[in-house]
Every structure is written in structure tokens, then in C-alpha cells.
Structure 1
Amino acid sequence: MQTQAMPCPDAAVGHFPFVAPRLTLKPAWHPQHEAIERRLAQDDWPYILRHFGDERMARKFIAQRIPAYGLLCYPHALPDRIYTIGRMMNVTTVMDDAFTPLARPGMEKESAALRLHFEEALHGVQPPAAFPSAQLLHDALAPMRPQLAARPAVWRRLAASIAEQIAMQAESTAIDVDRLSLAAYLALRRIEGFGHWITMLTEYAIDVDMTSAFERDPALWEVRDATIDSVILVNDLFSFRKEAAKQERFNAVWVLSRELGLDATQALQHLSGLCERNEERLLAASARVLAGPLGGRPDVQAYVTELAHMSSGNAAFHEFSARYRVGDG
């Protein structure tokens, strides 16, 4: 997302100390993770190469191991769905990369065209070859349509989350982070950061339908939102130094700095603590669901368990992916 560029008050970006949060949830890999990563590095290479138009940049993207995110966050995905889950991680990342340079004045026509072709892909229409990022979405969704035929509510909610994401990406003109409270920032990021989409993929991955469960127990929403917030907060913590080096301001560190009167180093430390407290919030909300009226349902148990893996898997991915290192693109 393109955000308002403002000078970072701390010039020595590389000297910001990193305070790793002390998280208790343990990550787990999907049993097929090595094979799926190898396959997707080959299968998605043509899309990625056409997207970047440069072999060096495409290889740099592959080296970030984006599909590994899904192989950590959905470790219990069904065997016939984990390939699509891994591919969807490439889809979301390439989509973000495609829209980001267009989210500035003067690029409205290009952004509208990209939006149109992503929307076509969502509705089953193959986009033109000039839009490989949208083609990748189309081809990733192709096997999901028949798989979700028996769960129409899941498909509707998944499609709605993707449509919401496309609109958010296309309409993200400059956002002034200095106008956002932390609560408002997190509410925006739950959409902008693909949170609704990736948690909908949890239902697809393990073949459950939480539509009625969300209606019956509001605590389930808290589990979902705490999971998304864990993704946001950990991402901001790990990506801050890279973003600061690029003069990017759309990060919780700057929100905390302004709201609490902290310098960037202090805000980083505070954000690390927020990551820890948010994990506690997730665990407490999960316990309430499992002790509540739906706690005896195997599908609810599986869903809550998998969301915990998303939290731990997200943190594990950020520890090794080159995507969050200063100097990596």
C-alpha cells in the first residue's frame, strides 16, 4: 500500500535494536511443505517472471519463500488443498506488489485497469496476458470453486473477502498514518493486510464452515481478530527497519510513537510487548470459545486450533524470510 512518505526522525535505521517478543505458541509445518515449496517455485515462475519483467527480481521474490507462509499457517490443510493454499500466498503478495506503485496521484487509470482484471479473475474470467498477477489469482481459484461447491456460504464469504481486498488495494491513495489511532490503524490493517482473506482460507484449508458459528458465539470473532492482529503486529515489528529505510510510515511503530510520546526505539520495544499481550488475548479468547456453547464441536475446535497455528506460523515465517530484511528490494 502506498502511504504518505514522511522523514523518519531516527536516521540510523540499521541501529534500531530488535526486541524479539517472547511468544509461547509453537509453529508446525505442513507434512508436504518441502514438496509444495519446490513445485510452486517451478509452477508459479512464469507468472512471477512476467509480473516483474526482470529475472533478477523474480529470483529475489522466489528466494523470499512466500508459499512457506501458508505451509506454516495452515499445517492441517487437507492434502488436496495445501498446494492451493501455498499458491494463494504468492497471489496475495504479488497483488500487493502490483497495486503499490499505482497508489499515487496520476496512476488512477492503471489502477482501475488492474482492479478490473482482478475482479474478472474473481468471477472466473481469465485476465489478459499483460496482467499476470490477476491471472495467478484466476488460476489459483480454479480448483477451489468445485471444492467449495458443497460449502456455498464459505465460497460467498471468501469471494467477498477477496473483493474487499481488491477494492482496498485499488482505492488506497495516500493514507496519513498520523491521523490514525492504534485502534483505527488495526481496524484498517485487518482488511488492508489481507487478514479477512487469509482467515477465510483457514475454513477452506481444513474444510469447515464457521458461518453459523460466528452468529452463535461472538467470542469466535475475538479469536479471529486476535489472530489477524498477531499477523499485523508481528509483521510491523519485523518489517519496521526495512520500511523505515524506505521512508515508509504505515507501521504501528509510528502510531505508538505519536500516541505514547515515544521515540522509535522505545516504540519498537512497546510493540514487542504488544505482540506478547496479543498472543495472551488470542489464547484467552480461544479458551472462552472452547469452554462455551460451541466448544464441543469438532469443526470449531479444529478452526480455533488452526488459527493459533496462523499466529505462530506468521511469527516463524518472519524470522527466516528475506522479505523483511533491510536491502532486500
Structure 2
Amino acid sequence: MVNPTPTPTMVQMPKLGSKVHLPDPGLVLKPLWHPRNDAVEAQLALDDRPYVLAHFRSEKATATYLGQRVPAYGGLCYPHAKPDRIYSIMRMMNAGTLMDDAFTPLELSADQRPRDALLHRYLDALEGIQPPADAPLPRLLFDTLPTIKAQLATKPRVWERMKAGIRSQLVRMADPLAYQMGTLTLPAYMDLRRDNAFGEYLAMLTEYALDVDMTDALAEDASLRAVRTAAMDAVILVNDFFSFRKEVPAQDSLNAMWVLMREEGLDLQAAVYRLAELCARNEQTLIRSRDEVLAGPLGQRPDVRAYVGELEYISSGNAEWCVITRRYHLSDQRFVSGEVTIAAAPTLDDIAAADARAA
């Protein structure tokens, strides 16, 4: 007898119209922009627009996506990236975010076949096999990776670890067991999200950005691993803190807010305060672990010092991007704290569908 494909489970979410106060999480690390951010961001708005338009088949959805300033995430998280690498890094922000946008609508389907088909095309792209014309988002990854691979020719272990990290993320994104949010504990959720919320993806790009190989250093030093993990966890927790409002109308089940509400029996407001506390606590873990690395034997190495410093910017850069992007706030106004309403905001797919109906 063949076991049926497990159906991803939803958790109880707040109702549309609910109001909640978002406190300032009180993060202390300061962001820094890469000096070439504006130029690269403008260039990518031109270069990557055809991929986005081919996927959504909607001018409005494409304009909405481009207005979210996704490549700027790379300009904030890798402010010291080598000048000849910042374009590829910022393009990988588009490739990764659109990867997430491609898998998210498939999360709650009981049919595994669409997830498997999308996974196959992405894995082909990762292996240098050109995806077909009807797969523009895997094609974006396919077109971006060769430059990165060539620039890492002298650091093959970094390239292989990066490939392995992207592969693991893709497999987790396509796995329906990953979306059993009715049973995941917070530690299990964090472990899952270090893969499929781009934690590993972003950490590996740090080594590429600086042209350093931390393979051995990470294997031998627990404090260095702790800095890296805290940087990844900052991405998860702070993104969840600012993004949960858009995930209610989108029925996106992957958010620590829902885990806290279920696991700790909290209402929405209490869960918001709890998640803000976890964001601040994680940042302190990063700072403490950073200080341990810098005070230890590895702290004398320039490559390790540069690496640890850039991991800080994953944390602070992620936090800054979360308060400026229209992806979370539907506004160009920088938003840190205040009362918010959970409103029915259309997803990019909703915008594309409405555009198609109006055509």
C-alpha cells in the first residue's frame, strides 16, 4: 500500500482586521550600505525584470515586486563585499526571494507533483542544466551561478558548501513534512528555517563576498559557529516579527509567531512581545559569541575578523531592510514600531491574477 502524501497543516491565525502593537525590538547593531548599492540596484531592476515579468505575466505584479527593493537586502547584508562580487550577491537576493515566492503558493497543496516539478527545475539549474523557457525563475538562478562558481575557482570548498546549502534549502522547500506547523516546536522550527528561510544561503554568501574560506575555522571553533548561527537566527526571527502581517492574508504558515501562539498558549499581542524579546536576546548571543571569537586564537586572523564583522551586518542589514521594504509595509515610509492592522493585502500572485482578468 502506498502511503498518501502528507498534507501540510495550517495553524490558527489572527483574523483580518485585528490590531496589534509592534514594539521596537531594541536591536543595537547598526546597518551599513555597500557603496555600490544604488548603482547595482538600478541595474538589476533592468536586468532581472524580464525574469519576473515572464513568471507573473503581469506588469502590475512585476512593478510591485521590483518596488520591494529585494536586491537592496544584499547591499545591506554585505557592505564590504568585493566590488566585482556585489552584483552577483544582490542578484542572488532576487533569485532566492523569487524561489520562495514560487514555492509558497504550493505549501498547502496535498498534491506533491507541482512541488516536485519545481524542485526538479531548480536542481537542474543548480547543476548547470538550463531550465526550459517556461521556468524563468529557475533560469534566473541558472544564469547567476556561473559567475559565482568561476570567482570561487580558488576556493572550491566554499563553492561546494554553497551548492550543498542551496540544494538542502530547495529540498526542504519542496518537502510537505516541513509544513506541519501544527506540531513543530520552536527549536524544530528554527532548525527548519535555517535551511528554507535562507539562513545557510546568506551565511555562505558572506564567504563569497569577502573571498574567504571558513570551512576549517567553523569546524574547529564553537564560538565562530555560534556567531554564524545567531546571524542566521536573526534573519528568521526579525523577518517573522515584521512579516507576519502579510502572511495572514497569504495563508503562509511558516512564522515563529504562530509557533509561539500554539506552543506557549499566547494571544497575538503576547506572541508579538515574546518574539520581540527573542529577537533582542538572539542579537546579544551574536555579540557575545563575536567577542569570544575575537578574544580567542582565531581572532588574530584577518580573514576571521572580517568574516565575523560581516556576519554582524547580516543581522543589522536584515533588520534595516525589514523596516524599509514595501514587501512588509506596503509603504515607502520606514516603519519600526506602532499599532498595525492585519489587513487583506494582495499577494503578487493575486495581483497577477487580477491583471489577467482585467486584460
Q: TM-score, normalised by structure 1?
A: 0.95
1:25 matched to which residue of 2? Answer: 29
Deviation at 1:3, TM superposition (A): 5.2
Select between 247-256 and 285-294 the one with higher mean Cα deviation: 247-256
1:273 matched to which residue of 2? Answer: 277
1:213 matched to which residue of 2? Answer: 217
Going from structure 1 to structure 2, the CA distance change for 1:43 and 1:300 (only over 3 Å counts) comes to: same
Contact 1:3 1:250 in 2 (8 A): no
Contact 1:30 1:76 in 2 (8 A): yes
Deviation at 1:126, TM superposition (A): 1.3
Residue number among 1, 5, 13 corresponding to 2:10 in the alignment: 5
Q: Runs ≥4 in structure 1, deviation > 6 angstroms?
A: none
Select between 149-158 and 97-106 the one with higher mean Cα deviation: 97-106
1:37-58 deviations in whole A, cap 9, x for unaligned?
Answer: 0000000000010011111111
Matched, 1:244 2:248: yes
Distance in 1 separating the partners of 2:144 and 2:216: 27
1:209-258 deviations in whole A, cap 9, x for unaligned?
Answer: 00010122121111111011111100110011222344443211122223
1:4-29 deviations in whole A, cap 9, x for unaligned?
Answer: 33442x43545111112111100000
Matched to 1:219, the amino acid is S
**Which ranges of structure 1 fall in alignment gaps of 5 or more residues?**
none
Distance in 1 separating the partners of 2:140 and 2:42: 17
Select between 185-194 and 24-33 the one with higher mean Cα deviation: 185-194
Distance in 2 separating the partners of 1:19 and 1:193: 23
1:115 matched to which residue of 2? Answer: 119
Contact 2:231 2:312 in 1 (8 A): yes
1:60 matched to which residue of 2? Answer: 64
Residue number among 181, 189, 193 corresponding to 2:193 in the alignment: 189
Contact 1:103 1:173 in 2 (8 A): no
Distance in 1 separating the partners of 2:281 and 2:98: 31
RMSD: 1.6
> Could you say what secondary structure the match of 2:90 adopts?
helix
Alignment of 1:49-198 (within 5 A): 49-105=53-109, 107-172=111-176, 175-198=179-202
Distance in 2 separating the partners of 1:133 and 1:246: 20
2:52 matched to which residue of 1? Answer: 48
Select between 318-327 and 220-229 the one with higher mean Cα deviation: 318-327
Going from structure 1 to structure 2, the CA distance change for 1:54 and 1:236 (only over 3 Å counts) comes to: same
Contact 1:21 1:272 in 2 (8 A): yes
2:19 matched to which residue of 1? Answer: 15
1:172-192 deviations in whole A, cap 9, x for unaligned?
Answer: 357232312211111111111
Distance in 1 separating the partners of 2:244 and 2:291: 32
1:265-303 deviations in whole A, cap 9, x for unaligned?
Answer: 011011111111110000001111111121100000000
Distance in 1 separating the partners of 2:263 and 2:153: 47
Q: TM-score, normalised by structure 2?
A: 0.87
Deviation at 1:197, TM superposition (A): 1.0
**Which ranges of structure 2 fall in alignment gaps of 5 or more residues?**
1-6, 330-342, 348-359
Select between 294-303 and 255-264 the one with higher mean Cα deviation: 255-264
> Could you say what secondary structure the match of 2:23 adopts?
coil
Task: Report the identity percentage.
Answer: 48
